[in-house]
Structure 1
Amino acid sequence: MNLEKKVLGEVIALRMDGTRLDAGVAVAFKESVGTEISNGARHVILDLGAVEFMDSSGLGAIVALLKRIGRDGDLVLAGTRPAVRKLLQITRIDRILTQHATVDEAARALGAGPPAA
Protein backbone atom coordinates (compact mmCIF):
# COMPACT_ATOMS: atom_id res chain seq x y z
CA MET A 1 0.00 0.00 0.00
CA ASN A 2 1.41 3.34 -1.06
CA LEU A 3 0.07 6.85 -0.78
CA GLU A 4 0.70 9.48 -3.42
CA LYS A 5 0.90 12.94 -1.85
CA LYS A 6 -0.09 16.18 -3.56
CA VAL A 7 0.38 19.51 -1.76
CA LEU A 8 -2.24 22.14 -2.58
CA GLY A 9 -1.29 25.17 -0.51
CA GLU A 10 -2.16 24.26 3.08
CA VAL A 11 -4.13 21.21 1.96
CA ILE A 12 -2.64 17.81 1.24
CA ALA A 13 -4.30 15.18 -0.90
CA LEU A 14 -3.34 11.56 -0.31
CA ARG A 15 -4.25 9.01 -2.97
CA MET A 16 -4.22 5.36 -2.03
CA ASP A 17 -2.93 3.14 -4.84
CA GLY A 18 -4.70 -0.08 -3.83
CA THR A 19 -8.21 -1.23 -4.62
CA ARG A 20 -8.92 -2.53 -1.10
CA LEU A 21 -8.90 -0.74 2.24
CA ASP A 22 -9.29 -3.76 4.48
CA ALA A 23 -7.62 -5.56 7.39
CA GLY A 24 -4.58 -6.27 5.22
CA VAL A 25 -3.69 -2.60 4.73
CA ALA A 26 -5.70 -0.60 7.29
CA VAL A 27 -2.91 -0.40 9.88
CA ALA A 28 -0.31 0.77 7.33
CA PHE A 29 -2.84 3.23 5.87
CA LYS A 30 -3.63 4.68 9.30
CA GLU A 31 0.08 4.96 10.17
CA SER A 32 0.97 6.67 6.87
CA VAL A 33 -1.83 9.22 7.07
CA GLY A 34 -1.22 9.62 10.80
CA THR A 35 2.40 10.54 10.09
CA GLU A 36 1.23 13.35 7.82
CA ILE A 37 -1.07 14.63 10.58
CA SER A 38 1.76 14.38 13.14
CA ASN A 39 3.97 16.36 10.76
CA GLY A 40 1.48 19.24 10.81
CA ALA A 41 -1.09 18.47 8.12
CA ARG A 42 -4.37 20.04 9.22
CA HIS A 43 -6.41 19.88 6.00
CA VAL A 44 -6.31 16.40 4.50
CA ILE A 45 -8.12 14.94 1.50
CA LEU A 46 -8.20 11.16 1.29
CA ASP A 47 -8.58 10.30 -2.39
CA LEU A 48 -10.22 6.89 -2.41
CA GLY A 49 -10.95 6.86 -6.14
CA ALA A 50 -9.10 3.57 -6.63
CA VAL A 51 -10.69 1.84 -3.63
CA GLU A 52 -13.35 -0.65 -4.72
CA PHE A 53 -13.75 -2.41 -1.36
CA MET A 54 -13.57 -1.29 2.25
CA ASP A 55 -14.28 -3.36 5.36
CA SER A 56 -14.71 -2.42 9.01
CA SER A 57 -10.93 -2.22 9.48
CA GLY A 58 -10.65 0.41 6.76
CA LEU A 59 -13.63 2.25 8.14
CA GLY A 60 -12.12 2.14 11.63
CA ALA A 61 -8.84 3.55 10.31
CA ILE A 62 -10.64 6.51 8.73
CA VAL A 63 -12.67 7.20 11.89
CA ALA A 64 -9.48 7.04 13.99
CA LEU A 65 -7.81 9.55 11.64
CA LEU A 66 -10.84 11.82 11.82
CA LYS A 67 -10.60 11.79 15.62
CA ARG A 68 -6.84 12.34 15.47
CA ILE A 69 -7.06 15.45 13.30
CA GLY A 70 -9.73 16.75 15.67
CA ARG A 71 -11.51 20.07 15.61
CA ASP A 72 -8.38 21.93 14.55
CA GLY A 73 -8.36 20.38 11.10
CA ASP A 74 -10.33 18.81 8.29
CA LEU A 75 -10.35 15.27 6.96
CA VAL A 76 -12.51 14.76 3.88
CA LEU A 77 -12.94 12.04 1.29
CA ALA A 78 -12.82 12.40 -2.48
CA GLY A 79 -13.75 10.12 -5.34
CA THR A 80 -15.48 7.43 -3.30
CA ARG A 81 -16.93 4.63 -5.39
CA PRO A 82 -20.51 3.38 -4.96
CA ALA A 83 -19.63 0.39 -2.72
CA VAL A 84 -17.63 2.60 -0.36
CA ARG A 85 -20.33 5.29 -0.33
CA LYS A 86 -22.91 2.64 0.52
CA LEU A 87 -20.81 1.41 3.46
CA LEU A 88 -20.46 4.98 4.72
CA GLN A 89 -24.24 5.43 4.46
CA ILE A 90 -25.11 2.13 6.14
CA THR A 91 -22.81 2.91 9.06
CA ARG A 92 -23.96 6.55 9.08
CA ILE A 93 -20.36 7.71 8.95
CA ASP A 94 -21.44 9.87 6.00
CA ARG A 95 -23.11 12.14 8.56
CA ILE A 96 -19.78 13.11 10.15
CA LEU A 97 -17.40 12.71 7.22
CA THR A 98 -17.61 15.07 4.25
CA GLN A 99 -17.33 13.55 0.79
CA HIS A 100 -16.58 15.26 -2.51
CA ALA A 101 -16.77 13.90 -6.05
CA THR A 102 -13.20 14.92 -6.92
CA VAL A 103 -9.98 16.04 -5.25
CA ASP A 104 -10.29 19.43 -6.99
CA GLU A 105 -13.78 19.92 -5.54
CA ALA A 106 -12.56 18.94 -2.07
CA ALA A 107 -9.54 21.24 -2.36
CA ARG A 108 -11.76 24.19 -3.33
CA ALA A 109 -14.07 23.45 -0.39
CA LEU A 110 -11.05 23.51 1.94
CA GLY A 111 -9.75 26.76 0.45
CA ALA A 112 -6.68 25.24 -1.19
CA GLY A 113 -4.32 27.34 -3.21
CA PRO A 114 -2.50 26.19 -6.35
CA PRO A 115 -0.35 23.03 -6.24
CA ALA A 116 3.11 23.49 -4.71
CA ALA A 117 5.98 23.37 -7.20
Structure 2
Amino acid sequence: MQLTHQDFDGLRVVRVDETRIDAACAIQFKDTMRALSDSGPARIILDMGRVEFLDSSGLGAVVAALKAIRHGQSLDLAALHPTVMRVFHLTRMDTVFTIHPDVTTAIEGIANAS
Protein backbone atom coordinates (compact mmCIF):
# COMPACT_ATOMS: atom_id res chain seq x y z
CA MET A 1 0.00 0.00 0.00
CA GLN A 2 1.61 3.18 -1.19
CA LEU A 3 0.68 6.40 0.63
CA THR A 4 2.51 9.68 0.19
CA HIS A 5 2.05 12.86 2.17
CA GLN A 6 2.75 16.55 2.00
CA ASP A 7 2.63 18.93 4.93
CA PHE A 8 1.37 22.48 4.86
CA ASP A 9 0.86 24.91 7.73
CA GLY A 10 -1.02 22.81 10.31
CA LEU A 11 -2.26 20.41 7.66
CA ARG A 12 -1.15 17.08 6.17
CA VAL A 13 -2.46 15.78 2.85
CA VAL A 14 -2.10 12.00 2.56
CA ARG A 15 -2.52 10.65 -0.97
CA VAL A 16 -3.45 7.04 -1.64
CA ASP A 17 -1.27 6.06 -4.59
CA GLU A 18 -3.21 2.87 -5.33
CA THR A 19 -6.41 2.17 -7.26
CA ARG A 20 -7.81 -0.16 -4.61
CA ILE A 21 -8.25 -0.32 -0.87
CA ASP A 22 -9.39 -3.86 -0.20
CA ALA A 23 -8.78 -6.88 2.03
CA ALA A 24 -5.34 -7.45 0.52
CA CYS A 25 -4.01 -4.10 1.76
CA ALA A 26 -6.39 -2.95 4.51
CA ILE A 27 -4.08 -3.79 7.43
CA GLN A 28 -1.12 -2.07 5.80
CA PHE A 29 -3.32 0.96 5.03
CA LYS A 30 -4.42 1.20 8.69
CA ASP A 31 -0.87 0.86 9.99
CA THR A 32 0.51 3.46 7.60
CA MET A 33 -2.34 5.89 8.32
CA ARG A 34 -1.82 5.45 12.06
CA ALA A 35 1.87 6.31 11.70
CA LEU A 36 1.08 9.34 9.52
CA SER A 37 -1.57 10.64 11.91
CA ASP A 38 0.53 10.00 15.04
CA SER A 39 3.29 12.18 13.64
CA GLY A 40 0.95 14.60 11.90
CA PRO A 41 -0.59 17.99 12.52
CA ALA A 42 -4.12 18.62 13.78
CA ARG A 43 -5.76 18.37 10.37
CA ILE A 44 -5.39 15.55 7.90
CA ILE A 45 -6.92 15.25 4.44
CA LEU A 46 -7.01 11.81 2.84
CA ASP A 47 -6.79 12.26 -0.94
CA MET A 48 -8.55 9.25 -2.46
CA GLY A 49 -8.61 10.53 -6.02
CA ARG A 50 -6.79 7.51 -7.41
CA VAL A 51 -8.89 4.93 -5.54
CA GLU A 52 -11.41 3.36 -7.92
CA PHE A 53 -12.42 0.40 -5.74
CA LEU A 54 -13.16 0.11 -2.03
CA ASP A 55 -14.53 -3.08 -0.46
CA SER A 56 -15.86 -3.57 3.07
CA SER A 57 -12.35 -4.21 4.40
CA GLY A 58 -11.15 -1.00 2.78
CA LEU A 59 -14.06 0.92 4.24
CA GLY A 60 -13.27 -0.56 7.63
CA ALA A 61 -9.66 0.53 7.24
CA VAL A 62 -10.69 4.12 6.47
CA VAL A 63 -13.03 4.11 9.49
CA ALA A 64 -10.20 2.67 11.62
CA ALA A 65 -7.98 5.54 10.46
CA LEU A 66 -10.62 7.97 11.71
CA LYS A 67 -10.85 6.19 15.06
CA ALA A 68 -7.06 6.17 15.42
CA ILE A 69 -6.54 9.92 15.20
CA ARG A 70 -5.55 11.76 18.34
CA HIS A 71 -7.90 13.93 20.33
CA GLY A 72 -8.03 17.32 18.62
CA GLN A 73 -7.14 15.95 15.18
CA SER A 74 -9.54 15.76 12.26
CA LEU A 75 -9.57 13.52 9.19
CA ASP A 76 -11.36 14.72 6.05
CA LEU A 77 -11.70 12.83 2.77
CA ALA A 78 -11.26 14.33 -0.68
CA ALA A 79 -11.70 13.43 -4.34
CA LEU A 80 -13.77 10.25 -3.99
CA HIS A 81 -14.36 8.35 -7.23
CA PRO A 82 -18.12 7.93 -7.89
CA THR A 83 -18.01 4.19 -7.14
CA VAL A 84 -16.18 4.84 -3.87
CA MET A 85 -18.57 7.64 -2.97
CA ARG A 86 -21.43 5.20 -3.56
CA VAL A 87 -19.97 2.85 -0.91
CA PHE A 88 -19.77 5.73 1.57
CA HIS A 89 -23.33 6.77 0.74
CA LEU A 90 -24.83 3.26 0.93
CA THR A 91 -23.20 2.65 4.32
CA ARG A 92 -24.08 6.16 5.52
CA MET A 93 -20.42 6.81 6.22
CA ASP A 94 -20.88 10.00 4.22
CA THR A 95 -22.61 11.30 7.35
CA VAL A 96 -19.60 10.42 9.51
CA PHE A 97 -16.82 11.87 7.35
CA THR A 98 -16.44 15.34 5.93
CA ILE A 99 -16.04 14.69 2.21
CA HIS A 100 -14.70 17.32 -0.17
CA PRO A 101 -14.95 17.19 -3.98
CA ASP A 102 -11.19 17.68 -4.35
CA VAL A 103 -8.07 18.42 -2.33
CA THR A 104 -7.97 22.13 -3.20
CA THR A 105 -11.51 22.62 -1.92
CA ALA A 106 -10.64 20.67 1.23
CA ILE A 107 -7.58 22.82 1.92
CA GLU A 108 -9.53 26.02 1.29
CA GLY A 109 -12.40 24.83 3.50
CA ILE A 110 -10.06 24.00 6.35
CA ALA A 111 -8.20 27.30 5.94
CA ASN A 112 -11.49 29.21 6.06
CA ALA A 113 -12.65 27.28 9.13
CA SER A 114 -9.50 28.21 11.10
| TM-score normalised to structure 1 length | 0.89
CA distance in structure 1 between the aligned counterparts of 2:10 and 2:60, rounded to whole angstroms? 26
Question: Residues 47 and 78 of structure 1 are in contact (CA less than 8 Å); yes or no, is this contact kept in structure 2?
Answer: yes
CA distance in structure 1 between the aligned counterparts of 2:54 and 2:40, rounded to whole angstroms? 27
What's the secondary structure of 2:33's corresponding residue? helix
Question: What number of residue pairs does the alignment pair up?
Answer: 112
Amino acid at match of 1:63: V
Question: Residues 22 and 56 of structure 2 are in contact (CA less than 8 Å); yes or no, is this contact kept in structure 1?
Answer: yes
Question: Residues 8 and 107 of structure 1 are in contact (CA less than 8 Å); yes or no, is this contact kept in structure 2?
Answer: no
Aligned residues: CA RMSD: 1.4
Change (3 A) 1:8 1:105: same
The 5 Å alignment of 1:1-117 reads: 1-69=1-69, 71-111=71-111
**Structure 2: runs of 5 or more not aligned:** none
Question: Residues 44 and 74 of structure 1 are in contact (CA less than 8 Å); yes or no, is this contact kept in structure 2?
Answer: yes
Cα drift, residue 70 of structure 1: 5.3
**Structure 1: runs of 5 or more not aligned:** 113-117
Which structure has the higher relative contact order (CA within 8 Å, separation 6+)?
1
What's the secondary structure of 2:111's corresponding residue? coil
